[in-house]
Every structure is written in C-alpha cells, then in structure tokens.
C-alpha cells in the first residue's frame, strides 16, 4: 500500500492535461458560417427586423406617433404613407412633408411608385431604419429593419454541432423527366409551386432516404427536417445548399450532401421572415446531428407544421 500511495501522490502533483482543442472547421464550413453571420447580424439583417406589415388597399401610415397604422419608435412622428391600389404601392408624403432623414434608394425621398422585391427594389432609410416592399404569393408587405432592435443588439450567438465527416454523404441523383413542381408552403400559409429537377437518394446509418430540392443557377437548394428538430435543431426544419450533380440536373449521377452545412432559416431568428417549410417528402425520420443547432430564442420551436 505505501507504494500505491506514493504513485497516487505523484499523479496528484502532475499538471492537469488540457482538453483537446476543437478541430478547425473545413474551409467550406468556415466560409458558410461567415456568410450566415452577416445575413443574420448585420444592421439590416434578419435579427434587425421589427415589422412585416401587410398592405390592404388604401393608405398605410408609418411613423412614431400614436395613430399610425404602423407605429415605429425610431422614425419621425409621421414618416411616410404608402398607398396600395390594384397591386401597386406608391410612396406619399405626410401632411408635414418628408423628414430630411428619409431617403429612397440613397436619395432624398419624393412621392413616387415603389418597386417590390419581385420587380426591382425600393429601399427607404431613416435613422438606422430600413424599409422595403416585398411580394409573397399575391400579397404585398412592408418589411422593416431597425439596427437598434434588441434582438440584434443582444444576440447570444450561433450554435453548431462539431463537424463530422460521416454526415457528408454522396447521394445518387435521379432526374425527373420532365421536371415537376414541388409544392412548398411558407409560414404565411401561401403554397409556392417551385420546379424540382429530381431527387437525391442516400443512406444514413444504413437506412435509405431521399430529398427533393429546387434548383437555382449553380446549386441545389433543399428544405428538410430530421429527427433532431424535436429537441436540438430548429423545429420547422433547416436549409441545405449543394453544388449541382456531377452530370447536371437532367442526367443520372451523384451529388454530395454535406449536412455539416445545414443551416437555420431566417424564421429561426425572427417572426418577420417568410420562410418555406419542408414538403412532406422532405421530413425525414433519420437523426442527423450535424450542422446548425437550435438558436435559443422564442422562435426556436415556432412555426413547425405538423
């Protein structure tokens, strides 16, 4: 026993071993995280959003004073009016005229028709507030960002699983001939017909699964949900963008699905985004503990369609 005691005593005197440093992200994942940080936390980003106002026909008044249809604290008392008629929005001055702070596309504001995000873009700015008209389905909305929004100022940071190469899978690409529409609902209840050129077929832990994407330019875009959404990842699902299949979208081939790059939609951070929800065929029973985790916010479990 004395010999054992001596050994134990020696061990207690040894310096504690440092915990191994977390492995560095791959360049692709590091680049994605940097881009997402800009999208989510910049002054006019998702975390800065403070309003999403639907336009009924007629006038929508906007400003800090009570009585405005859309009241925003960091704007002049009566900042501007937007009139909708027959699907067209027009910027109008209040009775007191435009405040000097108000700019439209970087120039002093004047009464004129406004473009929405499907026809161009008209950007109204004043005192760190930015407003744009967006079109979703057949409806027009005013989306407003405020750089001083507490959700942005006090953002607690992102959460990710450690990168795991086991969840970087090479999937079989099966084209549709001809392509057909993928009917995706968004959080506003609109159904969006979006062309899908085929599907990716792959295995997770030896079980087969498939996902249908939409195609845009040089990439595929997947909206999916897996079993981690019940407790660890955003309840409504995540996004994944990949390069095109090796032989293009119209021929059989392979496509790499790196679930380490699965990321949260904007709706994980704000109630004022209009995200698509995963179609039923993209709701997987597989558990995929890779990519971005649930952000600790009131929206983390919201908007999950049953």
Range list for CATH 2.60.200.20 in the chain: 46-153
CA distances from 148 to 43, 64, 105, 154, 238 (A): 8, 15, 21, 10, 27
* Structure confidence at residue 160 (pLDDT): 97
pLDDT of residue 69: 97
pLDDT score for 23: 73
CA gyration radius, the chain: 25
CATH class of the domain whose range is 46-153? mainly beta
* pLDDT number for residue 203: 96
pLDDT at 297: 63
Model confidence, pTM: 0.86
For the chain, which residues score pLDDT lower than 50? Answer: 1-17, 19, 303-306
Q: What is the pLDDT of residue 299?
A: 54
Show the beta-strand stretches assigned E in the chain: 49-54, 58-63, 70-71, 80-85, 88-92, 103-104, 107-108, 112-114, 123-126, 129-136, 139-146, 168-185, 191-204, 207-211, 214-216, 219-224, 238-243, 253-258
Q: Supply the pLDDT for residue 192.
A: 81
């Amino acid at each position: 026993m004395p010999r054992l005691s001596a050994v134990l005593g020696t061990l207690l005197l040894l310096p504690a071993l440092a915990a191994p440093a977390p492995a560095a992200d791959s360049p692709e994942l590091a680049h994605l995280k940097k881009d997402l940080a800009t999208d989510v936390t910049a002054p006019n980003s998702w975390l800065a959003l403070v309003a999403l106002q639907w336009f009924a026909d007629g006038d929508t008044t906007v400003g800090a004073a009570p009585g405005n249809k859309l009241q925003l604290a960091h704007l002049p008392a009566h900042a501007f009016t937007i009139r909708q008629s027959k699907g067209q929005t027009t910027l109008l001055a209040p009775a007191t005229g435009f405040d000097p702070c108000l700019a439209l596309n970087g120039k002093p504001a004047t009464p004129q028709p406004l473009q929405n995000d499907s026809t161009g873009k008209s950007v109204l700015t004043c005192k760190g507030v930015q407003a744009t008209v967006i079109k979703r389905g057949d409806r027009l909305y005013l989306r407003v960002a405020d750089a001083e929004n507490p959700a942005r100022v006090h953002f607690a940071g992102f959460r990710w699983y450690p990168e795991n190469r086991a969840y970087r899978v090479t999937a079989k690409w099966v084209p549709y001939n001809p392509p057909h529409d993928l009917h995706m609902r968004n959080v506003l209840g609109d159904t969006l017909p979006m062309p899908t050129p085929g599907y990716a077929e792959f295995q997770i832990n030896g079980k087969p699964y498939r996902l249908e994407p939409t195609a845009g330019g040089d990439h595929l875009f997947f909206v999916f949900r897996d079993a981690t959404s019940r407790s660890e990842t955003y309840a409504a699902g995540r996004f994944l963008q990949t390069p095109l299949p090796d032989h293009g979208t119209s021929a059989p081939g392979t496509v790499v699905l790196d679930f380490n790059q699965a990321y949260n939609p904007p709706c994980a951070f704000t109630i004022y985004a209009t995200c698509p929800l995963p179609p039923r065929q993209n709701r997987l029973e597989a558990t995929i503990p890779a990519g971005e985790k649930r952000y600790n916010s009131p929206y983390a479990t919201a908007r999950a369609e049953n």
